[in-house]
Structure 1
Amino acid sequence: MAPRAVVLLSGGLDSATCMYLAREHGFEVEAISFNYQQRHSVELTAAQRLAATCGANHTIIDVNLRAIGASALTSDIAVPKGGTHLQGEAVIPSTYVPVRNLVFLSLAYALAEAKDCSAIFTGVNAIDYSGYPDCRPDFIASFAQTAALASKSGREGRAPEILTPLIAMTKSDIATEALRLAVPIHLTWSCYDPQTAGDMLKPCEQCDACLLRAQGFAALALQLSKEVIFGSPVKVA
């Protein structure tokens, strides 16, 4: 029987690449996504489509982080545009959601224990390192230790390994890997601030997430469609 792994699947390029890597390494994938009342909840549609293309089981959990707010993704705070944060600022951007990865990893760990999974894949990477404190390697290592202490699987010596295969990659590295793995990149969604166009939602092409993604593909110097560079518009449900 193939080993099983939980993959945190937001619907974006990084998490989709992580899911396809998990499959390449022989894991049966249990994808987990979160409806946290995010501004860009259209990413859940992307996650559902991606999970289906990978043949993964898919669980969506409701976690109302809008009740906490304090983030441009879960409140009326404006999403920053123009790539200000991409220019090397040391401040944590307003798109940071308070301890989101701690919450999500905890729930992913619970699913891994319930489904007897031996690994958890998360797509945190070096690009997020300086801006988001819950994307740092030392946070991941500390969480793994704490979760093992707090869980039945950890006490029994079978704690799932937390794998971060993208941690040292740039966005262009991740784009290259996604192309190698034949990830359906046009189905992924990265934009923080979806724009309405008739009955469709389309990427804004101006937020940090859109610009970082576009920069990653631009570095490859390939002829790629706009749907690959920014993601395809999605019909409003």
Structure 2
Amino acid sequence: MKKKLSLDILKGLEPYIQYNNNLFCVIEESSDLLTVKDKEEGSDFQFTIKGYEQSQGRSYLRVHIKPISSSREEKISYLIESAKIGNYFEKWVNLLIEYNNVKSFFDDLIVEAYSKEFYTEFELLEEDAQIYPYDTNKILEIDTYLENLQQRLPEYITEQNETQILDIQKDIREIRDNITSKTKQWVTKKVSVVWAKLTKLGTQFIKDFVKEGKKQLIEVTIKAAIEVAKGTINLS
């Protein structure tokens, strides 16, 4: 509930709404004023507003942040003025972005290259793609494709690719479970990763799944984006 927070806090965090559910997520059941965690599974990076504290007759926010800089990963506790919350949150968000962008031994660069290729083909022209979901008709079309993919994939499992296909099935379930509550950008990025992992498995998977999927979904989303750009769709 946003009215638990002062307007200073809400205004300070407002510029980063676009990253919610894409870069980080808000933990709604937290007992703190606000707990924001890195989206990556297994990561303990977080930005937590514990509550208000008094110091020398003035009111401050107690904030726990991890990481606080590119060289310090430990959690740090601060007392800060509520009007300055945006400055601290901006630094934390930028660190998450840097972690996501830096190349490492832990990254699958092949999957990353394919997913970027597919994502650019979606051409998300709408300014609200980072904030709003697809409309219900688009959601149903995307879900129908994913359901069909989910049902057919087990036929292609071999001893060599079982782990990879089960991982793809997990990704598909995640998209289907969250498609109505996530943004257009989140959905398209996740679908792009699924296609990238299928592509890495071989040309047969491209022919049987990716090619047709691109034809169905990219056509749908590009058409919607063009209509929005022309002002023919009411998003309210």
Shorter-normalised TM range: under 0.3
* Superposition TM-score, scaled by structure 2 size: 0.25
Structure richer in helix, relative to its length: 2
Decide which structure has the larger Cα Rg and report it: 2
Q: Which protein, 1 or 2, shows the higher relative CO under an 8 Å CA cutoff with sep ≥ 6?
A: 1
TM-score norm. by structure 1 comes to 0.25
